[in-house]
Each structure stands twice: as structure tokens, then as C-alpha cells.
Amino acid sequence: MTTTAPASSGAGPSAGRWRSLEHRTITGLLDARCEERPDQACLVVRDETITYAELRARSNAAAGALYELGLRPGETLAIYANTHPSWIYALLGAARLGALAVPINTAYRGSFLSTPLRASGCHLALVEDALTDRLVAVADDIPDLKTVIVQRSGADPPGDLPWHLEDSAVLTSGASAPPPPHQPEWKDPVCVLYTSGTTGPSKGAVISHQYIASAATTMVDSWDLSAGEVLYAPLPLFHISSVASVVCPIVAGATGLLDPVFSVHECWNRVRRYDVKGILLAGVMVNMLWNLPEDPRDADLPLRFISAAPIPRGLHRKIEERYNLTVLTSYGMTEALPMVLYALGDEVREGATGRAQPNFEVVILDGDDQAVAPGVVGEICARPRSPHVMFDGYFGRAETTVERWRNLWFHTGDMGRMDEDGHLTFVDRNKDAIRRRGENISSFEVEQTLLRHPAVAEAAAVAVASELGEDDVKVVISLKADAALEIPELMDYCVAHLPYFAVPRYVEVMESLPVNPTGKVLKTELRESGVTPSTWDRERAGYVVRR
């Protein structure tokens, strides 16, 4: 049964700011900007400046080199490497050929690594030298792989590998034979991005030129990013937001500053050195920066905005005041980014992440795919208003694609609520929700509450099995430097700020929480650990929580 969508904020925030949607490719955008500003810095990668003219020339050379190595339109090129200029040349070179790049999370190994390589059928891969041993370990599981381009990072040269090897210098050395004439179309796929599998193998989302171009344009418009300004994105390139961040500077005629890793202690130095006007971060990175000791220079940073999510409730305005900037939040995922967001000048509501941008219709539905009333929690669902502004399906997994598109809505698997004016508040991911004695508990809201405690640096709430059935709540925290905290004191705080049924039974303090390369806490590991010998149990401790 299908539903009729209620009125939503489809016009999006500050509707007048958005440019009309055009049919564009990422390579076409680069070529156009190169004609306008060939000598301007387009990207600064590991402190290496690459002008617009250099990026166009090197991506053309990469296309020729990849063609000589056997890559053809419609085929796939794996990229298993950290941020580096050759990473970007390979992506754009493949795009010029009409081939698909398959970025792989650099933390992957074992079956996590072999699954996307095998499923995407890659016979050619760009691999960082320090990661080749992981590739060798799964060689028997990836028989299609024939050629490896080695990206040098200073690690020991790889030994005898079971593939034909090329140095990444081949990408820019100039091919002896040019690739066949090819101009990708706006609707063509440009990459396959694998999402983490929670109930099965990871899925490859097929991403088109138009998706990346429209997402980048939407973000640039929301930031008011101008030509010549610097945008800093210290995020791994295999992540959807960072793939887009390569294109955002090109859309604006700006300069992108890309670092292979995020350094909390060097971040503001990088911002000052390059006169950065905007920075793209994961939410946990903002928490880490906030936890730095206050500096008299904080309010004098050149930044105009930070784009990140989530931001702990109560910190949003404090961050803006401390650093004299605007914090902009958004909601999206690999399959659709961004679905909702706030733009500069918008009315921002505390705890919300934004309103639907013009290319998407976003609603909250119940388990029967019926629209819920404003303020009621349900599943966040969306659909595009224009072709190819979100993913084109899961690579080789048509049945999974259909499952996620139930009743003509893409089901995100995330829970949220929307007010009468279309402001969306993210509540929790379905898989992270906790049910305790008949009550549904948002792990996200528990975590945001804990992060407001002055001694807590990181927090994760997970479900652990209860002897009474359903779940009990366990929280795992780390403390700020030089902070001291007794667990009963933390429990007093929880009692004062949480509903009685959400007050955790179990608490574990760690030096730092396990995270993936994008800074997301690995809750799977915490759930699997369960109640450990070092876990504090309030029932055993005799701590009583009253209604």
C-alpha cells in the first residue's frame, strides 16, 4: 500500500539561495573551472598544492594510463589507500573513462576487505604500499584482481606479490596512447561506495556524477562558499562526504585542503596557516576540539562555519560563541547526502539537524508506511524530486535495493521526528535502539546527555542482554584529560537528566572508545563485549533509581 506524503519542507531552508539543478559531471565541472582559473590552487593534499590546470592535466594522464592497463567503460577500479594526490588522479581518471572507482575503507582487512573487492569484480586496484600485506592475505578470495598500482607512502617496498605491479607514478607520467574519446554523461555512475554491513555483507551504493555534483552544489550553496576561499576536510576519502568534498571546492572555484588524518592538536594551526573559511568534520571531531583547553585566540580563527553532525544538545551555541562562527548541521547517508540541512542565515532549532533540501522529499513514517503526526518518532524516509540526486541502487543487489525502496519511499533505517515546520530531529539508528522493560530508549539521546557532563569526553550507549528479557542499558565512556569522576557521581547526573528507565545499569570507563577511520564509534564491538569484569553494575553496587 502506498501513501500520500504530507506537506514537508521540500522547498528547503532559505529556498531562494539554491541554484537551479543542472545536468553535470564531476570532470565537466573541473574542465569548466580550469578555463576560468587555471593557475589557482584547486586542492592542497598533504601540503602539495595542485592547481586547476594541473588537476585537469593529471586526471587526463591518469585516464590514459588506466586505459593502457586495461580499464574500460563500465568496469571497476578499487582504491585501497589513504588520502594522497594519486587517489584523486585515479578517481578522476576512471571517471573520464566511464569506469567506476570503488573506494575501500583503509581499516578493512580479511573478509571486510575481500567482500567489496570480489563483489565489484575489480581486476585493477590502486593500493597503498603499507596495506599490501592485507591484500595478500585475501588473495585467494579475489581471483579477478590482476594488476596492482602501488601508492608509495614510505613503507617498505612490497615483496613478491601475486599480481602485475605498477608504481603510482604511472598515473601522471603520460600515457603513450591516449584513451578513446569519451565524455561521461551526467547520469553515468562514477563510483561504488560500500556501506558497513550490519545484518549481512556490506552493500555497494552506486553513485552517479549527478549525485556528487548536486550534493556538492547543495552544500556549497548552504555554506555560501565563495571563489578563492579555502575549505578544510580532514576526512578519509572513502567516505561519501569526503568524496563530495573534493568536488565542493571545484563547484565554488575555491581551494580544498585535504589531510590524510584528523589531528585535534593541529587542526586550528592548519586553519590559521591556510586561512580556512569552512571546515567539514564528523560530529565526534567537534567534541574533541571543544574539549581542548580554551585559548585566547579561539574567537579569532578565520573560520566562518563548521559543518558537522551530530552536535550535542546544549553545545551548539557555546561552540559558536567560543569560536565566533556558525555551526551548520545536516543529515544524510551514503545513499543520499544531504537529505536535510541548515544553511547560513537559517533559523536553527535546538537539537534539530535541518530541513529538507530542494532535491528531496523527507517524511516520518510508521511501521505501516503511514505518515505520523508532527513530533511523533518514526522512520526517516525520503525520495528524490529529480533524477540521480541520490544513489542508483546497490551494485549487483537488486533485491536489496527493492527492499529499501518499499512503497516508493527509501527507508533509511533511522528514527527521527519532524515538527510542524519541517525541522528534522534525528533520534537513533534502528539497530542502536534499546528496549528496556517496555520502554524504547534512544541510545543517541543518552549519549548526548552524557557528553554534556563536564568530565566526559566520549560516550556510547549500547544494549546488553537482561535476565528479565529485552535489554539493559550499558554506557561506555572516556574522560577528558586530567578529569576525575566517580561512577556514583555520574549516576546522580544521569538520574537528574534522564528518564528513570533510561538510566544505565552498567558503566564502563575506557581510555578511549574504539572508532572507525571516520570517527564513528564501533558499537558492534561494544555490544559484543557485553558485561566485562571491569563493568560497574549499579544493582550490584546497591545504587537505587526511583521513578
- 403 within a domain of the structure (yes/no): no
CA pair distance 458, 511, nearest whole angstrom: 10
Indicate if 59 and 153 belong to the same structural domain. yes
- Helix, strand, or coil here: 340? strand
CA pair distance 545, 493, nearest whole angstrom: 12
- 229 within a domain of the structure (yes/no): yes
What average pLDDT does the segment 36-56 reach?
97
Indicate if 116 and 230 belong to the same structural domain. no
- Helix, strand, or coil here: 357? coil
Residue owning grid cell 563493568: 535
What average pLDDT does the segment 145-169 reach?
90
pTM tops 0.75: yes
Last residue of one domain, picked from the residues 206, 222, 242: 206
What average pLDDT does the segment 164-181 reach?
80
What integer pLDDT is reported at residue 314 of this predicted model? 80
Mode of pairing for the β-strands spanning 278-280 and 230-233: parallel
What integer pLDDT is reported at residue 196 of this predicted model? 59
- Domain CATH number, residue 535: 3.30.300.30
Indicate if 172 and 272 belong to the same structural domain. no
* 447 Cβ contact partners less than 8 Å away, ≥ 6 residues apart: 459, 460, 461, 475
Indicate if 135 and 216 belong to the same structural domain. no
CA pair distance 63, 57, nearest whole angstrom: 10
- 362 within a domain of the structure (yes/no): yes
Other CB atoms within a 10 A radius of the CB of residue 134 amount to 19
- 81 within a domain of the structure (yes/no): yes
Last residue of one domain, picked from the residues 187, 206, 225: 206
Q: Based on the structure, what is the number of domains in the chain? A: 3
- 50 within a domain of the structure (yes/no): yes
Q: Which domain holds residue 508?
A: 433-541
**Identity of the amino acid at 535:** T
- Domain CATH number, residue 197: 3.40.50.980
Alpha carbon distances (Å) from 41 to 33, 114, 507:
11, 37, 49
> Could you tell me if 80 and 131 are in contact, meaning their C-beta atoms sit under 8 angstroms apart?
yes
Higher-scoring residue by pLDDT: 58, 448:
58
Indicate if 54 and 108 belong to the same structural domain. yes
Indicate if 296 and 421 belong to the same structural domain. yes
pLDDT for 378-388, tens place per residue? 999 999 999 99
Burial classification of residue 30, based on how many CB atoms lie within 10 Å of its CB (0-12 exposed, 13-18 middle, 19 or more buried): buried
- 399 within a domain of the structure (yes/no): no
What integer pLDDT is reported at residue 438 of this predicted model? 61
Indicate if 165 and 245 belong to the same structural domain. no
What average pLDDT does the segment 315-330 reach?
95
Indicate if 464 and 417 belong to the same structural domain. no
DSSP annotation of 375 reads T
Mean of all residue pLDDT scores within the chain: 90
- Helix, strand, or coil here: 529? helix
Indicate if 334 and 446 belong to the same structural domain. no
DSSP string, 503-522: S-SEEEE-SS--B-TTS-B-
- 502 within a domain of the structure (yes/no): yes
